[in-house]
Amino acid sequence: MGKGITSREEDYSKWYNELVIGADLAENSGVRGCMVIKPYGYAIWENMKAELDRMFKETGHSNAYFPLFVPKSLFEAEEKNAEGFAKECAVVTHHRLINDPDNEGKLIVDPNAKLTEELIVRPTSEAIIWNTYKNWIQSYRDLPILINQWANVVRWEMRTRLFLRTAEFLWQEGHTAHATKQEALDETQQMVEVYAKFVEEFMAVPVIQGRKTESERFAGAEDTLCIEALMQDGKALQAGTSHFLGQNFADAFDVKFVNKEGKPELVWATSWGVSTRLMGALIMSHSDDQGLVLPPKLAPIQVIIVPIYKGEDQLITIVEKIQPIIDKLKAAGIRVKLDDDDQKKPGWKFAEHELKGVPIRLAVGNRDLQNSTVELARRDTQTKESVALDGLEDLIARLLEEIQTNLFDKALKFREEKTTKVDTFDEFQQVIEGKGGFVLAHWDGTAETEDKIKELTKATIRCIPFNNEQEEGKCVYTGKPSSQRVIFAKAY
Amino acid sequence: MGKGITSREEDYSKWYNELVIGADLAENSGVRGCMVIKPYGYAIWENMKAELDRMFKETGHSNAYFPLFVPKSLFEAEEKNAEGFAKECAVVTHHRLINDPDNEGKLIVDPNAKLTEELIVRPTSEAIIWNTYKNWIQSYRDLPILINQWANVVRWEMRTRLFLRTAEFLWQEGHTAHATKQEALDETQQMVEVYAKFVEEFMAVPVIQGRKTESERFAGAEDTLCIEALMQDGKALQAGTSHFLGQNFADAFDVKFVNKEGKPELVWATSWGVSTRLMGALIMSHSDDQGLVLPPKLAPIQVIIVPIYKGEDQLITIVEKIQPIIDKLKAAGIRVKLDDDDQKKPGWKFAEHELKGVPIRLAVGNRDLQNSTVELARRDTQTKESVALDGLEDLIARLLEEIQTNLFDKALKFREEKTTKVDTFDEFQQVIEGKGGFVLAHWDGTAETEDKIKELTKATIRCIPFNNEQEEGKCVYTGKPSSQRVIFAKAY
């Protein structure tokens, strides 16, 4: 019944692309590297946004909106940040088009409409925001500032993949300002925990929380905390980051406050973000060769009902009998849809909803109804059973929770199986090349070794987990002493 | 108690700017013409978005997301649309910055990173969307497509004003595709009605629904429907537009479908949008010299509670007694906040919440509580009364509705008073220059007369109202025969 997408085994990358297209999540657009997020994909993103937004507000943050453009002089103010993004940014240089005198109906850039200062399409908003905060902060009474922004950003990536790496993507970026270092550190920690909670509870994707090495830090940060997930092909995916920015941006934009003692001090900063990349993590964590598998908490449609009928009369009878169930499900807050499209056969619909990852499917025929039963199919286990109409709404509510838990458990079990401790570099290379997954290995703590390992194996240090077990050992590459294992993996 | 903003009488435009800044709604940014929407302003916008989004979904629309950039070749495909926006668009020409060899720490545009085709930052998305729809539509079964997008757009306006006209603004743009002309016409009509309902019911701003004249149409549209509101200074504000695009975009992008008879036909289109400009309409419809006045349905805080106390003990007693009321109000879905900031005096808080337009203020002192009363102040009428604690939540629920209705009625009465029928051009000029408001006058139906009147008086035809009374008359300017009055006004 599969709609013929390539299997993961055959070609994982092709499977991913075909699934994203086939399940109507997104597609490439007429603009290099930019995607169109289709209604079904966007509905999942909307559910993700709604939960994240609630969590941000519960932790005291408000939303605001800052300009899309960053004037070059502001962009370059924090040098490390600028250096990190200068290589891949879209630059606006003109503000007008005129008719092409040599080509009727065509337009050219008006050379007389050159901007006096170029504008960078934001790849991230620290610069424009700290240039704004400067005017908002005078005294310790103005702090903290706890703001989040939902926005689009542009990074001119050369190789793009739907959701995972696109030139334009949607994200949220939190930007907070604090009077003390400790408060900023606490905020950085709090937000990585919010991300972990969201990804685990709603996306059903287990993550490891930890700290990036210096070389993997956000450009301009003093510390980057992250959550790392493992995909089914054994590659890691960084699912969210929370940065302690120290006083770097306050220094670059001269943002000072007068403390309680009446003395000026530089403000402490954090920033944190997750993006439509999470869609990629969601897809790759649970889906199978039949298509998308969605955790119920984020599924735009949690229950799809497919009537099995011959002729309009039968359809009417079925709809009449099933309508009270639909009403009860809706009243219980369950997102249910009746697929009464008369143009499509049940088999086509089964495959379609399977491809789109709807958690529960009910097939309802006349004979079922005579027996007061329906056929219930679970997308996660691909099992089917005949269940009684009586009490169906309770069963479904319970099953949706069970599916949510099952997906998480399955992903966790997979990650555990794909996590390997290695003690020699031979073993390291073998696991990275073969089994894949997270590799726990000792590292001597130097950027040189990190680089060398990356060069040789394409594996990077995903993070140094919080509360990491301390253990005497030797660096897997240099043999130098090390006090803990870090997590290596090839990554998206 | 006013926080000293300029009065409307003294300088309306200055009043508006001071109010927007003073009420913490928005401010100008470091980027020419682009604003920062501050948390309080954004919270109002979020409430507007939530209601509009619900209404769009109830009428069968789904959200999606299309690229920020439009390649020049797509931008110019629909010639009238391109011509309408070419003069004021931001153009991306390069994708990289490099270190300035002559200026350490500075960046310059990398001349080697010139794009082969320039990208226009979307001023509106018809072009990019119809280039996408082309691939989604083959058969009549693929229609209708009913999509909305929440996005930022850029129009390089020379003179900008917070919310009313900014180079970047936030909006929603609906883009629908239909198999028949009638269906597209119905959609165009439906959406202008949705806008009218939203603006009247939630913003408490009365609007006139009607049709734009040919010269005032959206570039590329065959018909533009609109809602027009009247501001307190007697100027009109176009609050939303819904366009019947005919087959213009289908033609430009070659979007055809096979109809039921197996024949290819061009697809019919609509687009419709409202933007952060609505914030300007909201502000200018209700506010007064003390600041913002918000309709309860959109107010981020509907009830503010200010404790009047000396010393921490009194504060604790007050909070204890008022907490059950707060809980009841919250349980009733009322957005209530206790302002227990110990750094500010009650008088300062009164002025602050007045400036921010909070509909109801409760002042709670120890003596009030002994009498089981609180002082309740209405922002709209600026009246105060002592009310019983007992049953307070019901009173407040009722008052919030009353305030919502009162604001609408007041604005409607104002509009009626400021609507004048005129029959001579002298009178026309006098009213436009003096009293202002909507002027109902006969017009001969030609663009020449419309232009001439605009040139002489700065008044434009806001719309030809739906179901307009038919009445024999003579054009106020040329004396030629006319069958109906149209609405003229100076406009934002």
Do A139 and A278 lie in one domain? The reply is yes
Q: Which residues of B touch A36 (CB under 8 A)?
A: 64-67, 132
Q: Which of B37, B92, B132 sits opposite A29 (nearest CB)?
A: B132
Give the nearest partner residue to B71 out of A27, A30, A91, using CB atoms. Answer: A30
Q: A352 to chain B, minimum CA–CA distance in Å?
A: 16
Q: For residue A341, which residues of chain B lie inside 8 Å, CB to CB? A: none
Complex ipTM: 0.97
CB–CB contact A30 B118 (8 Å): no
User: Does residue B4 lie in a domain region?
Assistant: no
Q: Which of A88, A106, A168 sits opposite B67 (nearest CB)?
A: A168
Query: With contacts defined as CB-CB under 8 Å, which chain B residues touch A98?
Result: 86
Residue A465, domain CATH: 3.30.110.30
For the domain that residue B327 is a member of, what is the CATH number?
A: 3.40.50.800
Residues A105, A113: Cα–Cα separation, whole Å: 20
Q: Which residue of A has its CA nearest to B47?
A: A63
Verdict on whether the full-model pTM lies above 0.80? yes
Q: Where are the beta strands (DSSP E) in A13-144?
A: 26-28, 35-37, 62-63, 69-71, 91-94, 97-99, 107-109, 114-121
B141 with A107: Cβ contact below 8 A: no
Does residue A135 share a domain with residue A43?
Answer: yes
Identify whether residues B392 and B444 lie together within a single domain: no
CB pair distance less than 8 Å for B42 and A34: no
Tell me the shortest Cα–Cα distance from A122 to chain B, in angstroms: 12
Kindly report the average pLDDT of chain A as a whole number.
97
Instruction: Report chain B residues whose CB lies below 8 A from the CB of A157.
Output: none
**Do B102 and B218 reside in the same domain of the chain?**
yes
Q: Residue B430: inside a domain, yes or no?
A: yes
Counted domains in chain A: 3
**CATH assignment at residue B62:** 3.30.930.10
Smallest CA–CA separation between A409 and chain B, in Å? Answer: 32
- Inter-residue contact B438 to B231 (CB < 8 Å): no
Distance from the A327 Cα atom to the nearest Cα atom in chain B, whole angstroms = 17
Q: Which residue ranges of chain B lie beneath pLDDT 50?
A: 1-2
Same domain, A145 and A43: yes
Q: Which of B42, B54, B65, B88 to mutate to test binding with chain A, by most A CBs within 10 Å of its CB?
A: B65
* The last residue of a domain, from among B226, B254, B286: B286
Domain enclosing residue B179, as ranges: 12-286
Which strand (E) or helix (H) includes residue A205? Answer: none
Look at residue A101 and tell me if it is in a domain: no
Return all residues near B33 (Cβ < 8 A) that are at least 6 apart.
B156, B157, B160, B166, B167, B168
- Give the per-residue pLDDT at A158: 87
Give the minimum alpha-carbon distance from A102 to chain B in angstroms, rounded to a whole number.
15
Is B408 among the domain residues? no
* Separation of alpha carbons A459 and B205, rounded Å: 60
Is there a contact between B156 and A128 if contact means CB atoms under 8 Å apart? no
Name which of B309, B235, B343 is nearest B16 in CA terms: B235
Given an 8 Å threshold on Cβ–Cβ distance, is A67 in contact with B119? no
Give the position of tokens 């007429």: A30
Residues B29 and B126 in one domain: yes
Based on the fold, state whether residues B38 and B132 are members of the same structural domain. yes
Q: Please tell me which residue of chain B has the smallest CA distance to A24.
A: B136
**Is residue B293 assigned to a domain?**
no
Cβ atoms B121, B69 nearer than 8 A: yes
- Burial of residue A205 (number of CB atoms within 10 Å: 0-12, 13-18, 19+): buried
Q: Distances in Å between the alpha carbon of B469 and those of B371, B445, B464, B475?
A: 58, 16, 10, 15
Do A169 and A30 lie in one domain? The reply is yes
If one counts every other C-beta atom within 10 angstroms of the C-beta of residue A6, the result is 16
Nearest to B92 among A121, A135, A151 (CB): A121
Do B66 and A147 lie within an 8 Å CB cutoff? no
**CB nearest B107 (choices: A82, A105, A131):** A82
Domain end, chosen from A259, A286, A313, is at A286
- Closest residue in A to B43 (Cα–Cα): A63
A332 and A230 part of one domain: no
- Does residue B154 sit in helix, strand or coil? strand
Q: Which residue of B has its CA nearest to A132?
A: B29
d(CA B171, CA B175): 13
HSE-CB of A122 using CA atoms within 13 angstroms: 24
Domain assignment of residue B409, yes or no: no
With an 8 Å Cβ cutoff, are A68 and B121 in contact? Answer: yes
Return the C-alpha torsion angle B221, B227, B230, B235, nearest 10.
0
Residue A72 lies in a domain: yes
CA distance B38 to chain A (A): 5
Which pLDDT value is given to residue B3?
60
Same domain? For B212 and B350 the reply is: no
Neighbours of A269 (CB within 10 A): 31
Task: Decide if B422 contacts B440 (C-beta within 8 A).
Answer: yes
pLDDT of residue A3: 61
Task: Write down the pLDDT at residue B380.
Answer: 98
The answer to whether residue A83 sits within a structural domain is yes
A46 contacts on B by Cβ (under 8 Å): 63
Contact A109 B93 (CB under 8 A): yes
* Residue in A25, A45, A68 to test binding to B, most B beta-carbons within 10 Å: A68
Contact B110, B98 (CB under 8 A): yes
Listed residues B402, B430, B456: the one ending a domain: B402
- Phi, psi for B406 (deg, rounded to 5): -60, -40
**Same-domain status, A159 and A225:** yes
B65/A42 touch (CB, cutoff 8 Å), yes or no:
yes
Question: Do residues B474 and B383 share a domain?
Answer: no
From B85's Cα to the closest Cα of chain A, the distance in A is 9
Residues of chain A with pLDDT under 50: 1-2
| CB-CB neighbors (< 8 A) of A61 in chain B | none
Task: Name every chain B residue with its beta carbon within 8 A of the beta carbon of A352.
Answer: none
